[in-house]
Amino acid sequence: MILTVTLNTALDITYRVPSLRAGASHRVSEVLERPGGKGVNVARVLAALGHEVTVTGFSGGPTGRVLRDRLTEVPRLTDALVPVSGATRRTVTLVDDRTGATTHLNEPGPDITHAEWSAFQEVYEDLLASASAVALCGSLPPGVPVGAYANLVRTARAARVPVLLDTSGAALRRGVAGRPDLLKPNREELAELTGSHEPLRATQDARRRGAGTVVASLGADGLLAVTPEGRWRATPPAPLTGNPTGAGDAAVAGLLSALVEHRPWPERLIRATALSAATVLSPTAGDFDHAAYERFLTTVTVTGVATAA
């Protein structure tokens, strides 16, 4: 099975309004509610691709109970969340139907105690014993050490489980020192980590900081991968209009699924880019359009060169 870690799970709530105006009252046309947090989103896509996946992290309070109830509705997904005394956060997305623009309101998450953090680490080590790969995703809730991801990366590597890291800010700066097999930043996170806004230079710098491979999400420009086996760029066939929420998480799912299937790098990038693009086109944030995904698998372009043996 593939293991995803979401230390700061969330109940995602999406409100759609005809036109969003600051300072005004709005009539909501649609409300959507679903389990969230980056690793949960990754797990949902992996399950849709047919992989057995286990979700761990923290969950607590009434919001956490709703989240766990909703997870039972996802086939091939196992809930291994660790209960905590604090309440799982909510994330609110406001979608402007007129412009397609999205506004996000993210709560900080529950305060995690030392005992709860220790309990999680025990669960994590046990789950690694049957994992084919692990993804460490998203922000750290209050109380979790800023170096938590670096330690979790080292634990996975000691267990010989390939580990992907997808986070930001201080958690990313500290986490890359743990030497993850794969780092998946977006353009802004990569620039913040390295100080460079030139994607190739920044990606190469991120590798020097400890990542085995770096796959950077460049939005409409697709994915850039710098790996020990070579360097590649994957781009969708045309600019897309839609909701990008969850597109990066879908890319992570594509990379992980192709990794455990032992696909070559060009195929991994095609799958990740196709899933990301199909997520943008989905009417529901965080889902992917299956028909569009199949179409993109044949139209995504990959260029690059393999490293000489």
Beta-bridged to residue 163, according to DSSP, are 134
Catalytic annotation on 249? yes
AA letter at 230: G
- Catalytic pick among 79, 205, 249, 287: 249
262 burial type by CB count under 10 A (0-12 exposed, 13-18 middle, 19+ buried):
exposed
CA atoms of 276 and 45, how far apart (whole Å): 10
Buried b vs exposed e over 114-144: b needs ≥16 C-beta within 10 Å? Answer: eebbebbeeebeebbeebebbbbbbbbbebb
Measured CA to CA, the distance from residue 52 to residue 78 in angstroms comes to 8
Catalytic residues: 249
